[in-house]
Amino acid sequence: MTPPVATTALDPAATAEALALYSDPETCPSDSLAPVPLAEERAFVAWQQDIPRQYLALSGDELDRRIRAARAALGARLVVLGHHYQRDEVIQYADFTGDSFKLAQHAANAKDAEFVLFCGVHFMAESADILTRPDVRVILPNMAAGCSMADMADPEDVYEAWDTIQDVLAGSAKVVPLTYMNSAASLKAFVGERDGLVCTSSNAPKTFEYAFARGEKILFFPDQHLGRNTGWQMGIPLDEMVLWNWRRPMGGLTPDDIRRARVILWQGHCSTHQRFTVAQVEKARAEIPGLRVIVHPECRWEVVQAADDSGSTERIIKVVSESGPGSTWAVGTEINLVNRLARANPGKRVFCLDPVVCPCSTMYRIHPAYLAWTLEELVAGRVVNEVRVDSETRKWALVALERMLALR
């Protein structure tokens, strides 16, 4: 990463204007604690038809009252987990919040609960199901809350890529498969069966070490950027990390490319983190003296290089929270987290690097109406929207997840 660019003192009025632009709720809309009825979020209603109609028109206050009543009725039988990227109207009900790594740990430790309500996206709920006792029922409030990055690694495409790579190498080198947490349970099982493991943005370098202790090459999916940023951090030159384009025969690579590579990166990305650019970093630095930039490693390599620091959401929270009073941070990650971080650090200036960044649109599909519906069904003795991983997949996916959780 480049050191912070020295900035010349700017006119305080110009700096204030720049900060106002970056913090303007009109250009950077996110969440509020007064949700509109689900029916008014028209784009989202279409994603799941089977929510009973009565939930569509409930006001924020009515939803809040009913969610709290259902939670009280369920008591210790229920644990609610909330990912950092959830909107405020939802995350306020979480017993535990965190990134996918921390939430996986909470799921593994939920020893007494009967139900885990996962306010996140589908792959996270699958991981929770794998990590909890078989009798614990894991519920995703809205089954349409998926992850566009996870969808970029279709299991059949990965199996085909694996076979092709094995054919090219013909036993001359061992490949260890690594999957990002943001992937289907079947892919976690796939890596578990082949000596590989799962990683998150919190522990990616350790998982690379694990893999290189067991083989000469890594096949990393689905996020090319986390893979490339981690490889670079570990001293692997860019030309030893090749990109597997799953739309093209042999990934668009030659046999020599595959033989030379130390890391084969799947061509996947996060649409939210893809929005951050080097131009944004340079513009923010030019406009705001003393600014520091921290970004998530799902951002492109050149953006991470241009930033002062990078890391998982947990690390971003730690670095910003521990920085000195009066410091100014441009943060390259999902807007709901950035806005909460800003509110939690009133003596500092914290804003999103992209003034018009959207929230994670799939995470946003969890509206409080879905919480009210799934919780009231539980109170009535009915489990809806359960996420279940079959026993064979679960067996090997658990191996891959436990290898990850065992890393120190």
Instruction: Report the nearest approach of ligand SF4 to the CB of residue 361 (Å).
Output: 7
Closer Cβ to ligand SF4, 360 or 400, answer by number: 360
DSSP string of 68-88? HHHHHHHGGGEEEEEETTS-H
Cβ of residue 227: shortest distance to ligand SF4, in angstroms?
A: 13
**Residue 180 or residue 329: which is nearer to ligand SF4 going by CB?**
180
Side by side, the strands of the sheet bearing 241-244 are 197-199, 175-180, 217-221, 263-266, 241-244
Smallest gap, in angstroms, from Cβ of residue 273 to ligand SF4?
6
Q: Which residues contact 11 (CB under 8 A, 6 or more apart)?
A: none
- CB of 271 vs ligand SF4, minimal distance in Å: 6
Cα–Cα dist 167/312, whole Å: 35
Q: Which two tokens stand for residue 39?
A: 């029916």
Which token pair is 98? 């965190």
Q: How far is the CB of 333 from ligand SF4 (least distance, A)?
A: 8
Q: Of 152 and 371, which has the nearer Cβ to ligand SF4?
A: 152
Smallest gap, in angstroms, from Cβ of residue 297 to ligand SF4? 11
Q: Is 7 helix (H, G, I), strand (E, B) or coil?
A: coil
Determine which helix (DSSP H) or strand (DSSP E) holds 349, and give its type and residue range: strand 349-352
Shortest Å distance, C-beta 240 to ligand SF4: 25
Nearest distance, CB of residue 382 and ligand SF4, angstroms: 28
User: What is the C-alpha separation between 289 and 5, in angstroms, rounded?
Assistant: 9
What are the distances in angstroms from CA 358 to CA 29, 56, 293, 302? 8, 24, 19, 21
Instruction: Tell me whether residue 31 or residue 334 sits nearer to ligand SF4 (CB atom).
Output: 334
| Residue whose CB is less far from ligand SF4, 121 or 175 | 121
Nearer to ligand SF4, 85 or 373 (CB): 85
Three-state DSSP class for residue 390? coil
Helix axes 12-23, 278-287, angle to 10 degrees: 140
Strand order from edge to edge, sheet including 291-295 = 309-310, 291-295, 328-332, 349-352
Nearer to ligand SF4, 362 or 374 (CB): 362
CA distance readout (Å), 18 to 13, 67, 277, 377: 9, 40, 18, 48
Distance of closest approach, residue 84 Cβ to ligand SF4, in angstroms: 10
Burial 20-44 (b: 16+ CB within 10 A, else e): eebbeeeebebbeeebebbeebeeb
Nearer to ligand SF4, 271 or 277 (CB): 271
State the Cα angle at 268 between 262 and 97, rounded to 5°.
Answer: 105
User: Residue 293's closest CA among 356, 352, 358, 357?
Assistant: 352
> By the criterion CB under 6 A, which residues form the site for ligand SF4?
85, 121, 147-149, 182, 270-272, 334, 360, 362-363
In angstroms, give the least distance from the CB of 300 to ligand SF4: 14
Burial of 55 (0-12, 13-18, 19+ CB in 10 A): buried
**Residue (182 or 312) nearer to ligand SF4, CB:** 182
Complex with ligand SF4: residue 233 or 271, whichever CB lies closer: 271
